[in-house]
Amino acid sequence: MKITNKNLVSLIGIMTFLIFNVNIANAITPVSADADKIKIESAETQLPDKEMSIIKKVSLKNKLKRTPEVQIKNFIKKYNKYSESNKLEKLKNMYSDSYVNNDGFDKDTLFKLIEEAADLYKDIKYTSTIESIKVDGINAVVKVHETAQGETLKTVERFNGTGIILSDLNYTNYLRKEDGKWKILASTIDTEKVTLKYGEAKDVRFEISAPECIAEGKEYEVSVKADINAPSAVEQAKKINKKTQNDDEEILLETVSPDGVFMFGSITNEKITYPQDHGEDVLRGLKSNELTRILSSNKDKCNEYATASLGITRAHVEPSAVTIDMTGMAILMTRVNVFPIKKVVINEKEIKNGAKSKK
C-alpha cells in the first residue's frame, strides 16, 4: 500500500501574510477673502477645563492609533478575517509587486498556491501572536507566530468523512512603504509544521522532528512518534470495534488495546518547488509507534519538507475470518531550510605573489 500527500498544499504562503494601511486625516485650512470681501477668520473659544481634558485624551488616542505598532496589531486581525473569508484580491493588494520569500516564490506564484489551497480546505481559523516589531523609517520587520486549523473540502469514503489540517509556523515579514502605504516586500518562514489527519488518526497525537536548518548535501535524521494510547484514540477504537464485535467482549478488549493496532508509514524529503514534486518511499512498520530515517538534504538551492505518511490498521476477528481495516491516515510535514555552501576558490599563485610583493 502506498500513501502519498498529493494535492496537499502547504500553508506556507497562507500563513505568511502581514500589512497595514495608514489613515491620513484631512487638513482644514482657514479661508480668507480679498480686501473688498468678507474675511473669514478662526476665533479661539474658551472651553471648560473638563471639556479640554476630554479633547486632549481623544487627540492622544487618535495619535496612538496612527503608530505603526498599533496599526500592525490591528491589521493582523483584519488580515486573518480576509484570509478566512477568501478575499484574495484584498490580500493581493497588500503585497509589493517586488515580493519574494525565502523559497524563491514571487507574488504571482505565492497566490497560485493560495488559490489552490482555497480549493482544498475550508473554515480555516487563524491565531496570530506578534513576537516583535521593529520600525526603521519606511521599513519595518515583524516576527509572527501563527497557528491555523481547518477542514478538507472533500470527504474520503474509506474514512467516512473529511480530514482536518493543522499548522504551526514562525515567520518574519519585511515591510516597506510604497506610495504612502505599507506593503509586504519579503518574508521568511523560519519554522513550519503541517499535519493532515483522517479517520482514527484525528484522535492520535503525532510528532515529527527534524532540524530546522541544514547545509546542502548533508545527512540529517527525521523521527516520527505516535501516541496511540491517547484516551480519545481508545474511545474511537471502541466505537469502531463495537460495530463488529458486539457479541464478544473479550475480543473487543483485545483489539482496543494499543498492541492490537498496527501502524505503518514512510519518511521522505521533498524540495519546496512549484509545482510540487512528491517523494516516494517504501512503507515500513512502526516499532513501538516510532519511525526514524536518515535523509540527505538537496543540493539544488531549495528548502525542503521532511514528510511522513502514516497509516493505522485495526484487526477485526469474526468466527470465520480475520479482517484488517485501514482506519486512519496522517501526513506530517516539517520545514527544513537548506543553506547553500559558497565555495571559495583559492589561487595559490596569487597568494605567493602577494606575499613576495609585501617583502
Assigned domain for 93 exists: yes
Lowest mean pLDDT of 24-33, 60-69, 88-97, 146-155, name the range. 24-33
pLDDT over 90 for what percent of the chain? Answer: 43
Assigned domain for 242 exists: yes
Average of pLDDT values for 20-27? Answer: 30
Give me the CATH number covering residue 315: 2.60.40
Span 76-85, pLDDT tens digits = 777 778 888 8
Assigned domain for 8 exists: no
Give the range of the structural domain holding residue 354, as residue numbers without chain letter: 204-359
Q: For residues 167, 168, 171 and 175, what is the CA-based torsion angle, rounded to 10 degrees?
A: 60
The single-letter DSSP state of residue 287 is B
What pLDDT, on the 0 to 100 scale, is given for residue 8? Answer: 35
What pLDDT, on the 0 to 100 scale, is given for residue 35? Answer: 38
Put simply, whether the predicted model's pTM sits higher than 0.85 gets the answer no
Average of pLDDT values for 103-120? Answer: 94
Q: How many angstroms separate the CA atoms of 342 and 339, rounded? A: 9
**Distance, C-alpha 113 to centroid of its chain:** 12
Q: Among 147, 130, 159, 137, which residue's Cα sits nearest to residue 72?
A: 130
Q: Are residues 178 and 255 in the same domain?
A: no
Top-confidence residue, 358 or 207 = 207
User: DSSP of 30-55, one letter per residue?
Assistant: -----TTSPPP-----PPPHHHHHHH
The pLDDT of residue 141 is above 80: yes
Rg of the chain over all Cα atoms, to the nearest angstrom: 29
The pLDDT of residue 6 is above 60: no
Q: Are residues 219 and 320 in the same domain?
A: yes
Q: Which residues pair with 127 in a beta bridge?
A: 147
* Cβ atoms of residues 194 and 333 within 8 Å: yes
Q: Are residues 358 and 209 in the same domain?
A: yes
What does pLDDT average to over the chain? 76
- Please count the structural domains in the chain: 2
Per-residue cell: 61: 488616542
Using DSSP's 3-state secondary structure scheme, residue 314 falls into: strand
Give me the CATH number covering residue 130: 3.10.450.50
Q: Are residues 92 and 120 in the same domain?
A: yes
Q: Are residues 147 and 244 in the same domain?
A: no
Assigned domain for 349 exists: yes
Span 194-236, pLDDT tens digits = 999 999 999 999 999 999 999 999 999 999 999 876 544 445 4
Assigned domain for 86 exists: yes
Q: Among 164, 162, 158, 208, which residue's Cα sits nearest to residue 312?
A: 158
Which pLDDT band, with edges at 50, 70 and 90, does 356 fall under? low
What pLDDT, on the 0 to 100 scale, is given for residue 174? Answer: 95
Q: How many angstroms separate the CA atoms of 183 and 77, rounded? A: 16
Q: Are residues 251 and 312 in the same domain?
A: yes
Q: How many angstroms separate the CA atoms of 160 and 176, rounded? A: 48
Per-residue cell: 336: 527544513
Q: Are residues 172 and 250 in the same domain?
A: no
What pLDDT, on the 0 to 100 scale, is given for residue 18? Answer: 28
Q: Are residues 265 and 326 in the same domain?
A: yes
Q: Are residues 128 and 235 in the same domain?
A: no
Span 277-333, pLDDT tens digits = 776 777 787 777 899 999 999 999 999 999 999 999 887 777 777 778 889 999 999
Q: Which residues pair with 196 in a beta bridge?
A: 165, 331
Assigned domain for 197 exists: no
Q: Are residues 135 and 279 in the same domain?
A: no
Please give the single-letter amino acid code of residue 125.
K
Which pLDDT band, with edges at 50, 70 and 90, does 22 fall under? very low
Helix axes 68-84, 49-65, angle to 10 degrees: 60
What pLDDT, on the 0 to 100 scale, is given for residue 65? Answer: 56
Q: Are residues 140 and 246 in the same domain?
A: no
Q: How many angstroms separate the CA atoms of 333 and 307, rounded? A: 5
Lowest mean pLDDT of 91-100, 157-166, 240-249, 276-285, name the range. 240-249
Top-confidence residue, 121 or 28 = 121
Assigned domain for 138 exists: yes
The pLDDT of residue 45 is above 60: no
The single-letter DSSP state of residue 176 is E
Assigned domain for 235 exists: yes
Q: Are residues 208 and 181 in the same domain?
A: no
What pLDDT, on the 0 to 100 scale, is given for residue 196? Answer: 97
The pLDDT of residue 185 is above 60: yes
